[in-house]
Structure 1
Amino acid sequence: MAPSSLAARHKRSEERRVLAGTLVGTTIEWYDFFIFAQLTATLLSPLFLEPLSESNPGLGQILAFAMIGISFLFRPLGAIVAGHLGDKYGRKRILVATLIMMGIATALIGLLPTYAQIGIGAPILLVLLRIIQGFSAGGEWGGAALMAVEHAPEGKRGYFGAYPQIGVPIGMILATGMLYILRTTLTTEQFSSWGWRIPFLLSVVLIVVGYMIRKAVEESPVFKQLSLRKASEHTPLKQLFQTNAKEVVQAALIFISNNAAGYLVIAFFISYTTKVLEMPVAPVLLATIIGAVGWLIFTLVGGWLSDIIGRRTTFVIGYAIVFIWMIPMFMLIDTGSVFLYGLSVFILTTGLGLSYGPQSAMYAEMFPAHIRYSGISIGYAMGAILGGAFAATVAQILLEKTGNSISIAIYIMVLTVISIAAVLWVGETRGRNLHVEDVDPELQAAHDAAQRDLNDH
């Protein structure tokens, strides 16, 4: 076989490994994260906030949702640490480390004693493990996004970048599906007593699978160029805030609407439909899974479409759907029909997907290579704090204060206007150069050949 054919074959094989590695890793990370979010909506409040849950269920639910938000506050720290190390030492190492950290914290939640067993120590330990989860999640996304986008062929960055993005809906499908199986096979007493621990403990198996797949992925080609130019000896975090602070703010604002609306689907809707509207839990979980399938499909479509019509246009279309659909969606959900609930969430996910699929590519194109991991990770983490961190908490407070779900719709619509403005502020990024300049082509070719020989043997 000709050398050029061998090189092309190797490249395609590596691209498949990269897509599998970023997809599996983010799926496992978000499975871990969503298991907690969904159990918070239905069970963890009485288990870990027992006295308050009994005396004031509404306030207990608000504080339970706040536990979701607490972990988001530590995402920027995880993003700063992982971004700094990832820009200095490589994307791959940090991805493996964050995956293991998330898995350990999740498994330990499955082993925690409840409030009835150790009192106030139970919620304290739970919060500490949530902090570790938040720290890990803060560093995970940026590395996965860059591994996908920086390996992508020219003209396919949006599509490749959508693969780590669909880890979110797939993780949600796994988490919700696991809860659905347990809810329909165990009695309420069995699930409340010990069944809720099973999804957390299963994380150990998933982490082993994800670790093996990620270890087989090569380092990002852009980081290899950085290594050749010795750019990794710089201080990327300091440079980021000196030269690209505006882009960090833009990235954060672009994300807030998608993340806030997403966390209504992930956490708030399950609590609202089962506790306020008194829908049965199992059908609601099944309808949520259907919504997550829509999120998966339209995230891939969003990434692919952004390679054709541009990142900005795809984002704006997605956010326009979210804005227009908000009030009709809540009106349909408030009918109490499980079918209309599922339909409403599925339509919402068309907008969520179109405004999520292009994100990896757009963010990568906003930052220069030597500070890219730090820039996109911190921007993403800050957007998550302003958007999804306390979205379920805010939604619950608005519901308690107004007694009307339309107030929640208006809250998301305001965030959507802000995100659309941020997208327009950035402008179109498709086609921007991602690679490192001033690298000797002969040195680059020799380095790549040596790397291929090492992988073959």
Structure 2
Amino acid sequence: MSGQSQAGFTPTGTIATPADRRRVVFATVVGTTVEWYDFFIYATAVGLVFGQLFFEPLGTNSAIVAFATVGVSFLFRPLGAFLAGHYGDKFGRKAVLMWTLILMGAATALIGVLPTYDAIGVAAPILLVLLRILQGISAGGEWGGAVLMAVEHAPKAKRGIFGASPQIGVPLGLLLASGVMALMTAIAPGDQFLQWGWRIPFLLSVVLILVGYYVRRKVEESPVFIELAERKEKASMPIVQLFRKHLLLVIVAALVFAGNNAVGYMTTGGYIQGYATNPEGPIGLERGPVLWAVTGSAVTWLITTLIAGWLSDRIGRRTTYIIGWVMQLVGVFALFPLVNTGDVGLLFAGLAILTIGLGFTYGPQAALYTELFPASIRFSGVSISYAIGAIAGGAFAPTIATAIVQATGSTQAVTWYLAGMTLLGLIATLLLRDRSGIPLGPDHEEEQSVSPIRGLAKV
């Protein structure tokens, strides 16, 4: 039966039609876009207003503390990943995705009505951090479920391009978040933006969540999970099995993502936005043009992510990644020399060059991760590897970059930090065998359990 599943059949023997697959891809893109819009709108606001509105009493340290709240949420991603992985491997991918969407939307909307420090004092930043933690729990559970819904529904030869559908939710979420914020700077300029303009993008989340919930309800459960359920082969304690048998694989997979995530969070974490618009900094650009430049770079990121997913189906995940790491390294060294010119056009060019490498080290990730782990513990493996990689990579990248610049007065050390993370991702990739096209169904657990780490045998 699993052979049928790999060929495009559901476990009951009916053909998974192109219309079914299009519905899965559409729902995945919409759902992940909404999730990441919510997650990134916070980071964008941190770079623009939260330091002033919620952490102003800290003076010169307000920016560092504000960016640290971006990172705090990452510390709770593993909790979301543990919960989602456990329940996703036991009860299905679809139910978990519905709950993560609701949790993220509720937290985001509540931030939109949160009083500032001037109104309620220290309770304001405390409540802000608590809501950010809920966003982190949701993000920790969202990605793994979205990835498995896309890749486990895909034909064997198209897992890369199908897996790119949840991946493009990140640049789409960034595009939407930056675009809406840029629009609000025009509608509510100056002090109006600080007073109420920044709140509208958060409140818009309510509408987006309703749309995402409606679309996801129409999607069928993953065929691999249905087959596991019908055969009663679901793991009773998937997380325990994961760490007992595949701990080293989780670490290596996490480092692959960390190399991409640290660099990506220069924009998704709000650092470039804050650095370029800081009136007391070396550049001092207006908010609107910088946000539009970030929005434009999200488009190039989206395109290269899709290209990389498609290419990985032809030349393999590992080779595509290696090409991506080289291009990402070029982008890292080009970024700050272009940003520091103070020219918005060159700032966009720096971000666009960077996103080429980011796309190539992100597009194949969904298919790569899905093919690394056995079916019965796959949700746990994918989610926890991703969450750990996010902590090691992007969690505190904006905070680290801010502290480095404050300590040295230069962005040169930030460039070397990002280059180091890129090389770490390359090394982790080189440790892995390419498993493109490996059967995903439960009949092939023995084959899937052979470690993809070079030099290791069956675990």
Where on the TM-score scale, by shorter chain, does this alignment land: which range? over 0.9
In the TM superposition, what is the alpha-carbon distance from 1:325 to its structure 2 partner? 2.7
- Residue of structure 2 equivalent to 1:413: 419
After superposition, residues 39-118 of structure 1 pair within 5 angstroms as 39-52=45-58, 55-56=59-60, 59-118=61-120
Aligned equivalents of 1:328 and 1:437: distance in 2? Answer: 48
Residues 364-411 of structure 1, C-alpha deviation per residue, up to 9 Å, x if partnerless?
000000100000100000000000000000000110111111111100
Structure 1 residues 383, 233: closer, same or farther in 2, change over 3 A?
Answer: closer
In the TM superposition, what is the alpha-carbon distance from 1:10 to its structure 2 partner? 5.4
In the TM superposition, what is the alpha-carbon distance from 1:50 to its structure 2 partner? 2.1
- Residue of structure 1 equivalent to 2:166: 164
Aligned equivalents of 1:328 and 1:346: distance in 2? Answer: 10
1:23 aligned partner, one-letter code = V
- Residue of structure 2 equivalent to 1:196: 198
- Residue of structure 2 equivalent to 1:271: 274
- Residue of structure 2 equivalent to 1:287: 293
- Residue of structure 1 equivalent to 2:402: 396
2:284 aligned partner, one-letter code = E
Count of aligned residue pairs for this structure pair: 430
Q: Do residues 258 (structure 1) and 279 (structure 2) align?
A: no
Aligned equivalents of 1:120 and 1:133: distance in 2? Answer: 21
SS at match of 1:240: helix
Aligned equivalents of 2:188 and 2:302: distance in 1? Answer: 29
Sequence identity (%): 52
- Residue of structure 1 equivalent to 2:450: none
8 A Cα contact 1:327 1:406, kept in partner: no
After superposition, residues 113-132 of structure 1 pair within 5 angstroms as 113-132=115-134
- Residue of structure 1 equivalent to 2:17: 11
8 A Cα contact 2:331 2:355, kept in partner: no
- Residue of structure 1 equivalent to 2:209: 207
SS at match of 2:267: helix
Aligned equivalents of 1:405 and 1:190: distance in 2? Answer: 32
Q: Do residues 219 (structure 1) and 221 (structure 2) align?
A: yes
After superposition, residues 284-433 of structure 1 pair within 5 angstroms as 284-433=290-439
2:82 aligned partner, one-letter code = I
In the TM superposition, what is the alpha-carbon distance from 1:233 to its structure 2 partner? 5.1
Aligned equivalents of 1:150 and 1:16: distance in 2? Answer: 13
In the TM superposition, what is the alpha-carbon distance from 1:137 to its structure 2 partner? 0.3
Structure 1 residues 248, 10: closer, same or farther in 2, change over 3 A?
Answer: closer
In the TM superposition, what is the alpha-carbon distance from 1:218 to its structure 2 partner? 0.3
- Residue of structure 1 equivalent to 2:448: none
In the TM superposition, what is the alpha-carbon distance from 1:438 to its structure 2 partner? 7.8
In the TM superposition, what is the alpha-carbon distance from 1:13 to its structure 2 partner? 1.4
Structure 1: stretches of 5+ with no match in the other structure = 440-457
In the TM superposition, what is the alpha-carbon distance from 1:427 to its structure 2 partner? 2.0
8 A Cα contact 1:50 1:116, kept in partner: no
In the TM superposition, what is the alpha-carbon distance from 1:328 to its structure 2 partner? 2.5
1:217 aligned partner, one-letter code = V
TM-score by length of 2: 0.92
Aligned equivalents of 2:69 and 2:431: distance in 1? Answer: 33
Moved over 6 A (4+): none
SS at match of 2:177: helix
2:351 aligned partner, one-letter code = V
Aligned equivalents of 2:328 and 2:277: distance in 1? Answer: 23
Aligned equivalents of 2:204 and 2:331: distance in 1? Answer: 36
In the TM superposition, what is the alpha-carbon distance from 1:79 to its structure 2 partner? 0.1
1:363 aligned partner, one-letter code = Y
2:384 aligned partner, one-letter code = I
SS at match of 1:219: coil
Structure 2: stretches of 5+ with no match in the other structure = 1-8, 446-459
SS at match of 1:190: helix
In the TM superposition, what is the alpha-carbon distance from 1:332 to its structure 2 partner? 1.5
Aligned equivalents of 1:324 and 1:292: distance in 2? Answer: 18
2:126 aligned partner, one-letter code = I
Residues 399-437 of structure 1, C-alpha deviation per residue, up to 9 Å, x if partnerless?
011111111110011111111010010121212121111
Aligned equivalents of 1:31 and 1:328: distance in 2? Answer: 27
- Residue of structure 2 equivalent to 1:434: 440
In the TM superposition, what is the alpha-carbon distance from 1:8 to its structure 2 partner? 8.2
Deviating more after overlay: 354-363 vs 317-326 = 317-326
TM-score by length of 1: 0.92
SS at match of 1:155: helix
8 A Cα contact 2:89 2:235, kept in partner: no
Aligned equivalents of 1:203 and 1:281: distance in 2? Answer: 22
In the TM superposition, what is the alpha-carbon distance from 1:324 to its structure 2 partner? 2.4
8 A Cα contact 1:183 1:191, kept in partner: yes
- Residue of structure 1 equivalent to 2:5: none
In the TM superposition, what is the alpha-carbon distance from 1:186 to its structure 2 partner? 1.3
SS at match of 1:304: helix
RMSD, matched Cα: 1.4
Residues 150-173 of structure 1, C-alpha deviation per residue, up to 9 Å, x if partnerless?
000110000000000000000111
Residues 286-320 of structure 1, C-alpha deviation per residue, up to 9 Å, x if partnerless?
11111000000000001000000110111111111
- Residue of structure 2 equivalent to 1:443: none
